[in-house]
Copies of this chain bind each other. A is one copy, B any other.
Amino acid sequence: MTLPSIREAASDLLNDYVERLDADRLEEWLDLFTEDATYTIIPRENVEQNLPAAIIWCPNKNVLRDRIVSLRNANEFNLHYDRHVVSNVRLRPHAENTWDLEANYAVFQTTMEGQTKLFSVGRYRDRIRLDGESLLFCKKYVVVDTFSVPTLLATPL
């Protein structure tokens, strides 16, 4: 792919990621990951101190898939709405057909009564790979500034 087209494809991938999460279309959200994709949510403090302890760590897509199934069983009814705002997208070549994709995010949650709160801010430090014709996440690495949120474990970021 040429550089302009990879930029657009990466932007589309990030938009798909956000749209599917915000719309609670988690099964389609899974389609954006390669089979060997890792998924990590880790506090910023641990990253900066080189501590490996993550809040969530899925070593491949099957584990992530199981997680979504559990989430569906635990939450029969979706009790809130999510809304992502993402900015400062940065794309850098990593290896052949592989790029590092970074961006800042803020996630807002709204109750069924229509009240909105800031839920989490942080930075995506992801890796994306051309898999056949599709650009997919092979590594999703979410560095969360916000971690004092009891419900954080339940919601993919």
Contact = CB atoms under 8 A, between A and B. Distances in A.
A84 B112 contact: no
A108 interface: yes
Interface string A104-120: 11101010111111101
Q: How many copies are assembled? A: 3
Interface stretch (A64-72, A93-101, A130-138, A140-148): A140-148
Nearest to A43: B114
Q: Residue among A15, A43, A114 with the most chain B CB within 10 A? A: A114
Contacts of A110: 44, 121, 145-146
A62 interface: no
B112 A45 contact: yes
B88 A18 contact: yes
Contacts of A44: 81, 110
Nearest to A83: B121
B15 A108 contact: no
A104 B88 contact: no
Nearest to A14: B88
A18 to B, nearest CB: 5
B85 A146 contact: no
A9 interface: no
Contacts of A146: 110, 114-116
Given A84-B104, A85-B86, A106-B108, 10 more contacts: A15-B88, A15-B89, A44-B110, A83-B121, A85-B87, A86-B87, A106-B106, A115-B148, A116-B120, A116-B145
